[in-house]
Amino acid sequence: MRHSYVLINLEPGSEEESLILARMVPSTGWPMTPLLAFVDLFVDSSNLEDVTRTLSQLPSVVELYEVRGEFDIVALVSADGVKEFRDILDNKILKIKGVKNQITSVVLNTDEGPSDSNVRATSS
């Protein structure tokens, strides 16, 4: 996923102008892009379904995977910045009953990858 920006003319003081200005980095005037982070969760196995259900209801969780391996759940979390992300992690995700610990990887760059991939995830 690559972010693109379009310059448009807006009526000064309009609701649309306010929405766009709210998404600007204050010191630069450049548009802000969301912070994306993969949150790898260690979950008590008896609470796995409840944790998954609770995470799926958080608007900041944009993708959610139950996995096998070192972690139990991988969540892709979107936030407007570090402060909001910290709040989501500390006050929402880590407060869910059954979440034991986490490891976070912040996304620095995104790329769509090959457009014609033969690798597909399947569910049974």
Amino acid at 102: Q
What mean pLDDT, rounded, does the chain reach? Answer: 77
Percent of the residues in the chain that have a pLDDT greater than 70, as a whole number: 63
Q: Map tokens 């920006």 to a residue.
A: 5
Q: Does residue 1 surpass a pLDDT of 50?
A: no
Assessment of whether the complete model's pTM goes beyond 0.75: no
Domain ranges of the chain: 32-106
Q: What is the pLDDT of residues 24-72, one digit of tens each?
A: 445 545 555 679 999 999 999 999 999 999 999 999 999 999 999 999 9
The residue with greater pLDDT, 14 or 80, is: 80
Sheet holding 73-79, edge to edge: 61-66, 73-79, 35-43, 99-106
- Does domain 32-106 correspond to CATH entry 3.40.50.1820? no
Percent of the residues in the chain that have a pLDDT greater than 90, as a whole number: 55
**Which pLDDT belongs to residue 116?**
53
**Which pLDDT belongs to residue 109?**
82
Report how far Cα 64 is from the mean position of its chain's Cα atoms.
10
